[in-house]
Structure 1
């Protein structure tokens, strides 16, 4: 049984016609796959809010439990995408799942959106189905003549607005509570969004806030571009507003740069990881604290394994656009370990689309204060604005995970990352038996272990760094302890490790089991991981049993 989404019946005619008019070439451009193309044209956002509005989506009628992260490349019909152009409609499926089960529905652009843009204020006036709503946002311009790229700051705290302006972008300070008020019951939600769509709407605050940012972009686009540029928009916010920024960037493809800060539960961290992450805010708490999530999510607070979607796929919804996730590893309540897993999982989609350089995840910070303005993020923040908004640079993204809260993607997935082609949507004549996790690295095979143990290494490589997953397999006899020796390529270095105790950081390094994974039955395997700088794709490893 399938349930066909009613989205096509409620989307406005204007949006439907705009999407239909998109050419196939434009769709492919949105998932450009070569670094050369990105460097020449700049990493591009879409020209419309939702490129996949015309994709037919049939949601499942029943849900099956799955403790692993859902395969972002597997379509609802059970097949996997084969080309970069397939991603447009696969993303639409993820969007529908996220709306149905997590956030509630984000309505299409209302019938009428008007407003003004001045050097100090953006005003928004919306009319839909005979109802009216209005709100405004403040504007703070950088030096210069403009027109200026825009970073919408949700909530007005936690974002480094000084650095944003010094990088040449205007700051638009948006009060999400004017659009979706906190402190209200789910049956009587308040704010501009609910004035239009009803106080009993099942849509949660996060997607209502995202809808508000989209309407600000509408007004900027219509303003003529004398002060603010509608084609160069970023969004950021911290804590609850980090949750909002994360969702906003995922659901509006016009946003070129999404920068959530310390978003915590209901933000970036994978839902499946929260019950097992010590000290993390439980899903029941995040759902009950405020109506951030959609009403339907209440059925999953105690059973996230039955969700057909998780936040690594929300990360993927941003791809191939710019994403800079900033996290705090010092506060367990924020679930930073689960957040790093979401970033690593979403990064697989970025890499498959040839856009791995467009994602940065950074939790390696010293200051543990919540929503502090951190010196570690200042330079990458400038670089991201220059790359994605002003398009004056092309600095590659990076992944810097703190050893205090390092997640291990291999523990959460049972799928591999395909090599997507740029051709028609037909699979290759001879698909590989096991697609590589990170092209061009060939997945390792585990050699026979004999009476001792063996080690195989798979590497997720990005520009300037990597994460290595090492599988240790016992031979014909039981193993009571093991040591893996790895020879790092020249210039590579280890920054942190998990599920093992490391010795050495360059050249020949050694990893020894920890208390809970040293004993292996014959043929049994366990995994550990480590993060490094440089290139790890030519690494070799051997195992010695004790």
Structure 2
């Protein structure tokens, strides 16, 4: 894996998020899971009973991805409320076999928040440690949402500030240092929990960010808002951002970039793809927990995989950015993880809250990505500033497109009921009906269709398969539901779809809205997509509004 040392002022993704209004478009806010999906606690399922976990030596081999909806006794969850404790089961399995345990909030956490920095002091069982992070505020009076930039490598800090969020520059090495043996780990986490702790660096880094959020919560909220925190990082720090967001439900927006092995890509897919091997990732640095060492040559024995860590973020905002040009990063396996995790998002009625985007031209690791400008802006506005409502999308490059159907033998259930209010809803911020940049919506200079709705398709084609992204745009009046019809070319078959229900997999097919994306304001749009085999060239979708 490419070596990246901590550089707190590095601007990696030069994304110009200019919040200027060229004929401003007003976004009509909706109170949905998208707008306030962050929980008020680090772990909502802390009180869930968890049955005895299997021993490593008794695990069966399963080449397919584990069913994220299945309990240990073989039964499957049936309601959206069930996900709270099912997520806890996934968390415990991931801790035991992959990352090592993330301890609960220590007995003593104190610190300060100023306009330039955060200090954290931790005390537990007679041991104590301290670390700090710098703060860079945007213009305005605050209090501000904030994005934790791990290791100085992540989304462009100028872009984050331009969107109205503060930047917290977090040095993960102060909490879990690289370059140390597993028997002598160093940093603030290991000062408290011991140098021989089996917990790996990624989880230690996640623990550190959770303690930063603790201090922000205690600070009174005059400078930073504890209910609007995001996290981003690239390369090894992308691995960290992924784990940080998965294991703290207070984080509203998780944005890992090109995370590679030990990050988003499914463990089961890495050997066949030719990405950095699991043994290499395990041995390069103690990123993963010590227990993972017994699975580096047999990932099919793992009772969890990273599609379930993706699911752990649900229903909160998740924007995975990837690079299809570097096989060593495992982008094909990462797309499978995103598609698998998206099935949980969809089952929870939050399919619009996940984006995976690897459809980029520049192959340089952690380079500028103009393709990410709009979705990055939309995600920050939606989950942190809370002035947007754009739906997530899957933009999978033809260079590295995984097929979820090849990796699962389970189906996605229809879960009844609703998510608990702490997970699924909250009031939109006072500015939720404010104007957003025209780049986040259809061009303000283009008049909307006169009525009803229209549908347009963009196709990402590769040899033997494709991904279609369908945009549904409302006319001069709002719509409360839509149906899109299209005819697939001869030989084309749909293998997976997101943000819509479908009838049929070949020939003439229809797609209808799901619960969260049927209502579209006048002139606004939502998107859904599907992956297919064969060719998707020439699709001409039609739209009927309800």
* TM-score, structure 2 as length reference: 0.75
Q: Does 1:368 align with 2:363?
A: yes
How far the C-alpha of 1:37 sits from its partner, in A, is: 4.6
TM-aligned CA deviation for residue 528 of structure 1: 8.0
Contact persistence 1:501–1:512 (CA under 8 A): no
Question: What is the match of residue 380 of structure 1?
Answer: 375
Q: Is the 8 A contact 1:204 1:295 kept in 2?
A: yes
Match of 2:104, SS state, is: coil
Question: 3-state SS of the aligned residue for 1:389?
Answer: helix
Q: For residues 457-498 of structure 1, what are the alpha-carbon distances to aligned partners after superposition, in whole Å with 9 as ceiling and x for unaligned?
A: xxxxxxx9xxxxxxxxxxxxxxxxxxxxxxxx9744532245
1:216 correspondence with 2:212: yes
Contact 2:154 2:232 in 1 (8 A): no
Q: 1:38 is matched with which residue? A: 32
1:53 aligns with 2:51: no
User: Is the alpha carbon distance of 1:538 and 1:94 closer, same or farther for their aligned partners in structure 2, counting shifts above 3 Å?
Assistant: same
* Cα distance, 1:507 vs structure 2: 7.0
SS in 1 for 2:507: strand
**2:85 paired with 1:89:** yes
Distance change in 2, residues 1:533/1:60 (3 Å): closer
- Counterparts of 1:253 and 1:500, CA distance in 2: 36
2:235 maps to 239
Q: 1:60: Cα distance to partner?
A: 2.1
Deviation of the 1:319 alpha carbon: 0.2
1:30-179 equivalences in 2 (<5 Å) = 37-38=31-32, 42-58=35-51, 59-61=53-55, 62-179=58-175
Of 393, 396, 399 in structure 1, the residue corresponding to residue 388 of structure 2 is 393
Shifted more, 416-425 versus 79-88: the winner is 416-425
State the 1:510 CA deviation: 4.2
Q: Deviations over 1:165-224 (max 9, x none)?
A: 111000000000000000000000000000000000000000000000000000111111
CA 1:511–1:190 in 2, change beyond 3 Å: closer, same or farther? Answer: farther
Contact kept, 8 Å, 1:498 with 1:530, in 2: the verdict is no
Bigger relative CO (Cα 8 Å, ≥ 6 apart): 2
Cα displacement (A) at 1:536: 6.8
* Kept after mapping to 2: 8 A contact 1:500/1:511: no
> 2:346 is matched with which residue?
351
* Counterpart contact for 1:365–1:376, Cα < 8 Å: yes
Q: Structure 1: how far apart are the matches of 2:463 and 2:495?
A: 5
Deviates more, 1:151-160 or 1:183-192: 151-160
Aligned pairs for 1:433-448 within 5 A: none
CA distance in 1 between counterparts of 2:498 and 2:251 reads 31
Q: Does 1:184 align with 2:180?
A: yes
Q: TM-score by structure 1 length? A: 0.75
Contact 2:494 2:505 in 1 (8 A): no
Counterpart-to-counterpart distance in 2, 1:116 and 1:500: 53
Which secondary structure does the structure 2 equivalent of 1:106 belong to? coil
* SS of alignment partner, residue 87 of structure 1: helix
Report the more deviating stretch, 404-413 or 154-163: 154-163
Work out whether residues 149 and 167 of structure 2, in 8 Å CA contact, stay in contact via their aligned partners in 1: yes
Alignment-derived partner of residue 18 in structure 2: none
- Given the superposition, is the C-alpha separation of residues 532 and 127 from structure 1 closer, same or farther in structure 2, using an over 3 Å criterion? closer
Of the three residues 273, 278, 290, the one matched with 2:269 is 273
CA distance in 2, matches of 1:530, 1:217: 37
How far, CA to CA, are the matches of 1:530 and 1:404 in structure 2? 18
Provide the residue aligned with 1:447 in structure 2.
Answer: none
SS at match of 1:172: strand
Paired with 1:167 and 1:217, the residues of 2 have a C-alpha distance of 21
Structure 2 match to 1:9: none
SS in 2 for 1:86: helix
Q: Is the contact between residue 87 and residue 312 of structure 2 (CA under 8 Å) also seen in structure 1?
A: yes
2:308 and 2:499 mapped to 1: Cα distance?
A: 26
Confirm or deny: 8 A CA contact 2:148 2:232 kept in the other structure: yes
Cα displacement (A) at 1:44? 2.3
CA RMSD of aligned residues (A): 2.9
Q: Which runs of 5+ in 1 are unaligned?
A: 1-34, 426-463, 465-488, 514-526
Say if 1:49 and 1:251, in contact at 8 Å, map to a contact too: yes
Deviations for 1:38-94, whole angstroms, at most 9, x for unmatched residues? 07x823211110011111112124211100000000011110000000000000000
Structure 2 residue runs without a partner (length 5+): 1-28, 421-441, 443-453, 471-484, 509-532, 535-546
Instruction: Give the conservation status (yes or no) of the 8 Å contact 1:55–1:92.
Output: yes
- Separation of aligned partners in 1, 2:351 and 2:498: 16
Q: Contact (CA 8 Å) 2:50, 2:89: kept in 1 or not?
A: yes
Whole-Å separation in 2 of the counterparts to 1:85 and 1:187 = 41
Aligned residues of 1:260 and 1:325 also touching (Cα < 8 A): yes
Distance 1:44 1:271 in 2: 28
Return the match for 1:203 from 199, 204, 208: 199
Asked whether the 8 Å contact 2:322–2:357 carries over to 1, the reply is yes
The aligned counterpart of 1:495 is 460
Give the drift of 1:391: 1.1
**Is the aligned partner of 1:541 residue 2:507?**
yes
In the other structure, the counterpart of 1:264 is 260
Distance 1:377 1:500 in 2: 23
For 2:399 and 2:42, how far apart are their aligned partners in 1? Answer: 37
Q: Distance in 1 between matches of 2:266 and 2:256?
A: 15
Q: Following TM superposition, by how much is the alpha carbon of 1:537 offset from its aligned partner in structure 2, in angstroms?
A: 5.1
